[in-house]
């Protein structure tokens, strides 16, 4: 299969898959789930088939249509997008496996809709990853927002509808009011929005305009959840856990930081941005978000909300890293997208497994649960360590590069932030691990355990075991990702 065909196929497959799943849903649940797994597998195969070529320095591209004069619907694969697409397509398989266990275990309604829309959002994610210009990126960015909205509102009760409304309003309004004008501005100034090495704005826009435009992009890309546009992320916690995993690890927030990274490298151009006021400000904003979100996380009692704030903080690592504008930090940003995905998906899978098996959502309820669900809690522990950045987990690798990048940039602020946040991460994650493993179930208020339970259904356990293995594995085998990420250095 030629590379161009592979790009188109990787976009069309999930969308066609969505329709297929919708029809398969009429035949039977097993058929539907088999179809989901098949499509996820096929997508991963196609996307990964592009990896060797991209690693070898090729940049396959394809243009589908010219929407307006000068504005094309076009795709191009570059290292960062390759990394993102490879990550998303791989995690979809695991996530589907987990979904089967979770959705069945909790007897959720409207499962066909769930699987179909899941496929659509994966298609949109691949579109974001492969977008060759700002317009195409924006198009799929919006499709991703819209296709995940029903997933967030999946339960359909008052609370989830209200939360989904927050989700939609924040993401859509930032994208329309800030992101879109930024894009139009870019096209007007540069005459093009194509992602070009060295940046299309270089030499076209100077002075305060650069800073303003950068801020428009950063806050316009609400999916990156830089404060103060983060509230959608905790609100979206009402969604079923596989959806949370999709939001936090596979697609949505990753699409956000991915877009910011791409804009900085390929639209502004690292060199062009180096002297600008906006970049320093961005480091500051990201640092603030990291610290503030971590402190808020400390005060959470609900497990999933805690994890959500943790995500807000971790995303800003990426934003801060790329805003440092040094090569090592750039690599760190790219690798952190992957490392965080593995860790965070493990944490969410574990939280979901706990909910499925024990119907527990609050941290205080987790006393001694490690003894009932050892596999789950082991995975949770690994994920938590990765968040903190302790070896032997993937989180260590990326944090290492970001730290090194901060040294390179001579940014005291970044160094202090990373160290402080590491302490904070430990402070909110370690107590959970302690409770789960070392506290006794009947301690505290003395109420006996509500129900006797073991592990969650096997597909879920298998899935979270896999992601935990990936988290550890990434510590050792991150060479491929690093190879691809190194190619980004051309932009520095």
Q: How far is CA 362 from each of CA 296, 305, 348, rounded to the nearest angstrom? A: 16, 10, 14
User: In this structure, are residues 211 and 222 in contact, taking their beta carbons and an 8 Å threshold?
Assistant: no
User: In this structure, are residues 18 and 116 in contact, taking their beta carbons and an 8 Å threshold?
Assistant: yes
Report in angstroms how near the CB of residue 340 gets to other proteins at its nearest: 28
Question: Which of 66, 206, 271, 362 is in the footprint of other proteins by CB under 8 A?
Answer: 66
Question: Which of 5, 19, 27, 177 is in the footprint of other proteins by CB under 8 A?
Answer: 177
Q: By CB under 8 A, tell whether 70 contacts other proteins.
A: yes
- Pairing of the two strands 61-68 and 71-76: antiparallel
- List all residues 6 or more positions away from 282 whose beta carbon is below 8 Å from its beta carbon: 214, 215, 218, 319, 320, 323
The residue (of 58 and 157) whose beta carbon lies closer to other proteins is 157
**Which two three-digit tokens encode residue 491?**
């932009």
Question: Which of 42, 63, 105, 165 is in the footprint of other proteins by CB under 8 A?
Answer: 165
Compute the distance between CA of residue 318 and CA of residue 483 in angstroms, rounded to an integer. Answer: 18
- List all residues 6 or more positions away from 279 whose beta carbon is below 8 Å from its beta carbon: 214, 273, 323, 325
Beta strands in 356-478 (DSSP E): none
Question: Which of 42, 172, 281, 420 is in the footprint of other proteins by CB under 8 A?
Answer: 172
Place of tokens 């504005």: 71
Touching other proteins, residues 134-163 (CB under 8 A): 135, 138-139, 142-143, 146, 150, 153, 156, 161
Compute the distance between CA of residue 44 and CA of residue 245 in angstroms, rounded to an integer. Answer: 18
* Binding residues for other proteins, total number by CB under 8 A: 36
The residue (of 127 and 389) whose beta carbon lies closer to other proteins is 127
Q: By CB under 8 A, tell whether 389 contacts other proteins.
A: no
The residue (of 66 and 271) whose beta carbon lies closer to other proteins is 66
The residue (of 69 and 446) whose beta carbon lies closer to other proteins is 69
Compute the distance between CA of residue 317 and CA of residue 321 in angstroms, rounded to an integer. Answer: 6
Q: Site mask, other proteins, residues 302-321, x = CB under 8 A? A: --------------------
Q: How far from each other are the two terminal CA atoms of the chain, in whole angstroms?
A: 33
Report in angstroms how near the CB of residue 224 gets to other proteins at its nearest: 19
Touching other proteins, residues 22-61 (CB under 8 A): 26
Q: Site mask, other proteins, residues 71-110, x = CB under 8 A? A: --x-----------------------------------xx
Compute the distance between CA of residue 449 and CA of residue 116 in angstroms, rounded to an integer. Answer: 38
DSSP string, 26-93: HH-HHHHHHHHHHHHHHHHHHHHHTHHHHHTT---EEEEEEEETTEEEEEE--HHHHHHHHHHHHHHH
The residue (of 180 and 415) whose beta carbon lies closer to other proteins is 180
Question: Which of 52, 56, 68, 446 is in the footprint of other proteins by CB under 8 A?
Answer: 68
Compute the distance between CA of residue 82 and CA of residue 373 in angstroms, rounded to an integer. Answer: 36
User: In this structure, are residues 268 and 204 in contact, taking their beta carbons and an 8 Å threshold?
Assistant: no
Q: By CB under 8 A, tell whether 185 contacts other proteins.
A: yes
Taking CB under 8 A as the binding criterion, the range among 178-186, 195-203, 315-323, 450-458 that sits at the site for other proteins is 178-186
User: In this structure, are residues 285 and 214 in contact, taking their beta carbons and an 8 Å threshold?
Assistant: no
C-alpha 356, offset from chain centre: 23
Report in angstroms how near the CB of residue 35 gets to other proteins at its nearest: 17
Question: Which of 52, 56, 57, 69 is in the footprint of other proteins by CB under 8 A?
Answer: 69
Report in angstroms how near the CB of residue 446 gets to other proteins at its nearest: 40
The residue (of 177 and 208) whose beta carbon lies closer to other proteins is 177
Question: Which of 12, 19, 169, 419 is in the footprint of other proteins by CB under 8 A?
Answer: 169
Residues at the interface with other proteins (CB under 8 A): 26, 64-70, 73, 109-110, 112-113, 135, 138-139, 142-143, 146, 150, 153, 156, 161, 165, 168-169, 172-173, 176-177, 180-181, 184-185, 187-188
């Amino acid at each position: 299969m030629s590379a161009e065909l592979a790009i188109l196929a990787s976009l069309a497959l999930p969308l066609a898959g969505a329709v297929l799943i919708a029809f398969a849903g009429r035949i039977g649940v097993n058929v539907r789930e088999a179809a989901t797994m098949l499509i996820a597998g096929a997508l991963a195969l196609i996307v990964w088939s592009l990896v060797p070529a991209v690693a070898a320095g090729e940049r396959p591209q394809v243009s589908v249509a010219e929407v307006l004069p000068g504005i094309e619907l076009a795709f191009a694969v570059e290292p960062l997008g390759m990394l993102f697409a490879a990550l998303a397509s791989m995690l979809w398989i695991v996530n589907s496996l987990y979904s089967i266990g979770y959705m069945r275990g909790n007897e959720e309604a409207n499962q066909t809709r769930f699987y179909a829309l899941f496929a659509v959002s994966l298609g949109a994610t691949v579109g974001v990853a492969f977008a060759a210009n700002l317009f195409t990126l924006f198009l799929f960015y919006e499709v991703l927002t819209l296709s995940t909205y029903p997933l967030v509102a999946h339960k359909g009760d008052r609370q989830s509808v209200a939360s989904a409304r927050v989700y939609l309003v924040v993401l859509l309004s930032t994208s329309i009011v800030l992101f879109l004008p930024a894009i139009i501005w870019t096209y007007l100034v540069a005459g093009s929005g194509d992602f070009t090495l060295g940046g299309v704005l270089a030499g076209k826009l100077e002075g305060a305009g650069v800073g303003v435009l950068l801020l428009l992009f950063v806050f316009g890309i609400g999916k990156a959840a830089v404060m103060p546009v983060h509230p959608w992320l905790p609100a979206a916690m009402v969604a079923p856990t596989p959806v949370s995993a999709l939001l936090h690890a596979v697609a949505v927030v990753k699409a956000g930081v991915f877009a910011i990274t791409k804009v900085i490298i390929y639209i502004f151009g690292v060199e062009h941005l180096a002297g600008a006021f906006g970049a320093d400000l961005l480091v500051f904003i990201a640092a603030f978000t990291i610290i503030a979100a971590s402190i808020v996380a400390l005060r959470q009692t609900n497990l999933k909300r805690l994890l959500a704030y943790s995500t807000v903080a971790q995303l800003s690592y990426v934003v801060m890293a790329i805003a440092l504008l040094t090569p090592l930090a750039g690599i760190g940003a790219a690798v952190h997208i992957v490392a965080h995905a593995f860790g965070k998906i493990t944490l969410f899978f574990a939280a979901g497994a706990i909910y499925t098996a024990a119907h527990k959502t609050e941290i205080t309820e987790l006393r001694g649960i490690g003894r009932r669900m050892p596999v789950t809690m082991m995975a949770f522990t690994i994920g938590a360590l990765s968040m903190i950045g302790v070896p032997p987990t993937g989180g260590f690798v990326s944090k290492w590069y970001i730290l090194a990048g901060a040294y390179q940039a001579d940014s005291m602020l970044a160094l202090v932030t990373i160290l402080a946040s590491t302490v904070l991460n430990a402070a909110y994650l370690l107590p959970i691990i302690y409770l789960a493993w070392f506290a006794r179930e009947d301690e505290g208020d003395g109420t006996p355990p509500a129900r006797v339970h073991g592990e969650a259904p096997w597909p879920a356990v298998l899935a979270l075991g896999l992601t935990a293995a990936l988290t550890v594995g990434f510590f050792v085998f991150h060479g491929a990702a690093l190879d691809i990420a190194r190619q980004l250095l051309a932009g520095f």
